[in-house]
A and B are shown apart, each in its own frame.
Chain A
């Protein structure tokens, strides 16, 4: 639909300014700033415990549920500060989708997995159409169209994760956050998800956390390298992987630590 959009006008959809995240006394994220362009795939990489998941969760305010977490700084989504006083985090989460590390479909039918989110947000259109559209976009339709009312738990791990992506898509979000979506999957399912991400990026902006550098290299346009809560380096994926400017980045990418 809009492959040309990100080339012609590089519109910034998400801008982070000086974001700090604290868990109690411990600072997990140190003054991170970045700009994410619309219709791109941004990969957040770094060793485990570097804060990339924490950072991702502060983009749709999922950290609100961690009692001790405190966030300072600004996250501007289409120019509006997500941490502003008037912002309703619930409203916001319906516009920014999220896919989790382990596939976590609802203990309901495949059909209801898709429709639940839109319904609690007041959707009163044709649910059949919505289900078909969302599942098709997540390339799951052909596999499940004959058993939409079976339990989502009857699906394989890879299918469950694609269902979770379809569930996020059904909300028609602009941005989809993915927190290591393939880490619990086998290589074949992983490839399925990666293919899907490449397909989706024309329509959605995707921010993906991954500990798999090859994956970041394959699917992302831009790569952000995190280390110990700092954003060490970022840039075009190609450049980060072939010609990193910081020693730390190079060490991580060449597998010297992590």
Chain B
């Protein structure tokens, strides 16, 4: 398609060429083509670096992806090391974090969009939610350490880690849910009110279902972010050498990114391969979650607005 476009613009050139105006036109055409090439180049550059990165990781790690890799705990010996504990930890964290952050975040978004009065303090809250969303994740780690680990005495448990990550993604969930709710047209609300619906009926019966695809997309993307976070968990003291699977929220734990970080920082070459293999697992997990987000969006968009 791009090729025909370029050809057409070349073919259309030689109509009248002598005047100043047509020279200006051809200069603009040239500029147009250059800009097009530039855009193409930047996309290519971005894709290339991604492909190189993934290619490198696959090359390094794919041969280390064996059944045992998933069934074993980590070990001093690279040949016996696996990610069983990290996978269990990550799955636990995934569910616990969503259990905290999703209901809270979506409710906050509903309140801010539907119920909050147009007052100064609401505006102030809104601005600060935006600020929180841009905060470096290590700060959340420090908050988690001070509040959950020390003050509430949760120690280095799954609970402390998940609450910390929940805090981290809360502002993102709030903002994306707000955007989704905002996108519901006024005409839909009016239709519902005109039928004699109460406010909560309008919110839960019409506005939420209509904004669900948007909310779900935001939720899943922010949970993917939580799954990939390392820094705040290191701060609150998640372990890197765990030879057991957690059975309750009070247990100590590790997660995939920490395991990767730990292996990648070891001097032995073999552990770098292990890290690459674990990265492949993490990437697959993230791709899978994004796929779910896309699937849900498609599914619920059957009733498009």
Contacts and interface: CB of A to CB of B under 8 A. Distances in A.
A167 interface: yes
Contact of B197 (A65, A109, A120): A120
Nearest to B199: A90
A168 to B, nearest CB: 8
A67 B117 CA distance: 11
A3 interface: no
A62 interface: yes
A90 B198 contact: yes
A138 to B, nearest CB: 15
A98 B197 CA distance: 13
Nearest to A151: B303
A182 B201 CA distance: 29
B191 A93 contact: no
Interface stretch (B42-50, B202-210, B238-246): B202-210
A104 B191 contact: yes
A176 B210 CA distance: 26
B25 interface: no
A67 B197 CA distance: 19
Interface in B190-239: 190-198, 201, 205-206, 209-210
B204 to A, nearest CB: 10
B305 interface: yes
Nearest to B184: A107
Given A94-B195, A107-B303, A120-B196, A100 B209 contact: no
B38 interface: no
B119 interface: no
A117 B305 CA distance: 19
Given A106-B206, A107-B305, A108-B303, A91 B188 contact: no
- Pick the most buried of A92, A94, A116, A152: most chain B CB atoms within 10 A of its CB: A116
B209 A107 contact: yes
Nearest to A118: B195
B187 interface: yes
Given A120-B205, A153-B304, A106 B198 contact: no
Report, as a range, how many residues of chain B touch the other chain.
20 to 34
Contacts of B209: 107-108
A93 B195 contact: yes
B196 A100 contact: no
Contacts of A151: 302-304
A171 B201 CA distance: 16
A164 interface: yes
A248 interface: no
A117 B193 contact: no
Contact of B195 (A65, A102, A108, A171): A171
A58 interface: no
Interface in A23-65: 60, 62, 65
Contacts of B210: 107
B182 to A, nearest CB: 16
A117 B195 contact: yes
Contacts of B197: 90, 117, 120-121
Interface string A155-198: 00000000010011001000000000000000000000000000
A94 to B, nearest CB: 3
A60 B194 contact: yes
Contacts of B185: 104
Contact of B191 (A109, A120, A164): A164
Contacts of A95: 196
Given A106-B206, A107-B304, A100 B193 contact: no
A167 B190 CA distance: 13
Contacts of A109: 303
B194 A93 contact: yes
B195 A104 contact: no
A93 B196 CA distance: 5
A229 interface: no
17 contacts: A65-B190, A92-B196, A95-B196, A100-B191, A104-B188, A105-B191, A107-B210, A109-B303, A116-B195, A116-B206, A117-B195, A120-B205, A151-B302, A153-B304, A168-B194, A168-B195, A171-B196
Q: Identify the 5 closest CB pairs spanning chains A and B, nearest first.
A: A94-B196, A117-B195, A107-B303, A98-B194, A104-B187
